[in-house]
Amino acid sequence: LAKTTQPISMDSYEGQEVNITCSHNNIATNDYITWYQQFPSQGPRFIIQGYKTKVTNEVASLFIPADRKSSTLSLPRVSLSDTAVYYCLVGAFYGQNFVFGPGTRLSVLP
C-alpha cells in the first residue's frame, strides 16, 4: 500500500483558499487518490477522487501532477464549517482496503 504524508495541521481564515498537499511517492499504476473529510465523532465523508491531472466538483478541486507522486486538495473560500481533519488515501480500484494516515487538521479562523 502506498504510504501518504501530509502536514499535521494547517490554519486558515474564512474566505481564503486552502491547499493541502499529500505526498505518495510509492503510488502504483492502478492506484487512485481519494480525499476524505472528518468532523469530530462522525465517520469520514468523501470529498473527491482522481487518477491524474485535475478533477473538480462542487466542493473542491484535486490537482495531480504527471508523475502522480503527490496531489493537492484545493478548498475554495473556506468557512468556519470547513474546520475538520482531511485525509489523503491511495488505493486500487477494487479490493484494496483504505488505510488512513494521520491526516491534516485544518482550523479555519474568523
Write the interaction track for other proteins spanning residues 55-84; mark x where CB under 8 A is met and - where it is not: ------------------------------
The kind and range of the H/E element at 89 are strand 84-92
Interaction between residue 101 and other proteins (CB under 8 A): yes
Interaction between residue 32 and other proteins (CB under 8 A): yes
The CA distances from residue 89 to 23, 34, 83, 104, in Å, are 10, 5, 19, 12
The CA distances from residue 87 to 14, 70, 110, in Å, are 21, 13, 23
Interaction between residue 43 and other proteins (CB under 8 A): yes
Instruction: Give the binding site for other proteins (CB under 8 A).
Output: 32, 34, 36, 41-46, 49, 87, 93-95, 97-103
